[in-house]
Structure 1
């Protein structure tokens, strides 16, 4: 006879109980969640970017060097702008902190609410204050109201176009004129993270205002349509004094940038066909979402980005919990839009699953 100690006996007894309680339990691992929260590009980066990373892996023991110059030159050629007006890096939070500290505490920053808050969240440590302006009825930046919010304390206006979370795009001519007028009064920072999801983005960018010498800065990122979110690389086109001030602080310097990020970004800029294919795929999936929302008679924004924003007719926390229970993770709740959901565009099969879950969640139209 084999005698079992108490710990072994309890372990075997517990296993037997579990096998009786769950006779059909599978050994298969659980399905990974469907992550539709952060507006990533699920189609991934350009094959050229992946090849550039592979080719550069042998150099990981070396510090970043010419890669900074290579990407700067590629951006300068693309944007038709001087290299000394280009600051590399994902710089929105650094930019907010720098501007709020410059001139001492008490400066104000005007932005649209709800909105992406990386820049305005960064101003508080240096004594900056945030003035939020609600979106207009079309869920776009309310440019007249933003202009009215500027006063002698304003350090900068921060605009996102296409907007986040609504995905709406302001009329190109009116937007450019408004930015020009605002820039005569204060610095205007325009975040164009999602602009390349529009086929006519080149006609919509306000980068020409930077080239003309206006008090305008334009931010772009490789984290969205270029599919390089994990590499955290972007750039700012800035007035020369602002660019020089940021660079003097070490922002955009070689020691703060990954060479893999730089070579991937440089290769991505060369592969415009791939970006166009991603744009087309995202547009098709976005329209499938909008078709569902029209069918269910739900209000939704005219998003032109890689996400949709709509009124689910029930509290965000409740809807998000129901979807999370089905393995679908969506964007956070937005101020003043308690029943609205922001859902990123995923892969086609992920979107189909998410749309089915949302269709079951929505009240009848």
Structure 2
């Protein structure tokens, strides 16, 4: 059996030191990092963007099928995605964890390997955090800090009538990955001798367990002098996010079903599970793609990027929020996506 080091043997400061000892500073803006009472950053005249997320075991993740390294990685990515959604560059994160004594130092080291991998890949510094005892499951709270040139940030409330609605990447994959994992978990709980069958489903499993944030799109905007009129990331499902953009910009919209970007592996998985790929793409959530609105005159500039699909346009608020189906029928868009407060 592998060695197990109890957290109590290190104490809180020892634990934080152990978990953060390998982090190297990657940003000139980091003046004081982990190991002091507070961090000090200087963004040299840029505006600061701050976002925070709470991940709770049993609500946002299931450790039965989520490796700790993947969980650490994803906990950083979901926050970086929110910074990119403001058209900003993430530079720093803080990570706080609540853990019970069922987790060993080795388990937490694995979690932090994932955190470290994400920070390294996205050029972000871990500058602080806290550890505490949790009586129930694991709790992870991450705050991400980013920088943006003055007045270059993009809000949700600034779309205009006639703007194109655009989506990055493809949608529905993470939800299908979750559906698969939950199905395999149920089978396993009924019969622990049955090995999980994930054959050929690595795409949707990857979309769930190891999402990426769209740094490439923000870089593309900058290189091509494109400024979205409104933007947010897709964490709760496209329909829910588009309704947020409509509500906050006081507009209506038209989405086209046949324009929704769905990966062929996601489409195949949806059919296998007896699900409608369109419903998965609209209501799935956790894809961490970007949805943004754009002036029509910028259309030519985004056709250069295969990762961007135009899926509709914004209308007057009186025209409602509708999807045009493949058959040409109009349907109301409803938010059936992830709701953090449902029972």
Do both share a fold (TM > 0.5)?
Answer: no
Larger radius of gyration: 1
* TM-score w.r.t. length of structure 2: 0.26
TM, length-normalised to structure 1:
0.24
